[in-house]
Amino acid sequence: MIQRYWEGNLEEHAIPIQLLCGTTFQQQVWQELLTIPRGEVRSYQEIATQLGKPKAVRAVAHAIGQNPILMFILCHRVIKHNGELGGYRGGEDLKAKLLQLEGFIINENAK
């Protein structure tokens, strides 16, 4: 499955979110992460707004931080609204590398 992801052949929406432990809100956030296409990013604010909770930016960030399977619920695609990469459990350098592998061009001033 990991090999298929790196080759760009993994159907990213195939993860059964409801099987994961987490609150209903966390599962909604994780499901939203699955809609972000390879090579694109979304801000925490955009995700909160998409979920109909535009003031829940911190709750979205917390839910993303609780993501139990980083390689399948791809939270590295979420950045700050100002373009900075933001946090990542694997470290900011790994987040940048994953985004670059997917074809996203990182603004070096935003790091």
Catalytic one of 33, 73, 75, 85: 75
Strand partners, 42: 78
Active site residue 75: yes
Which residue carries 């609204």 as its tokens? 81
Catalogue the active-site residues.
75
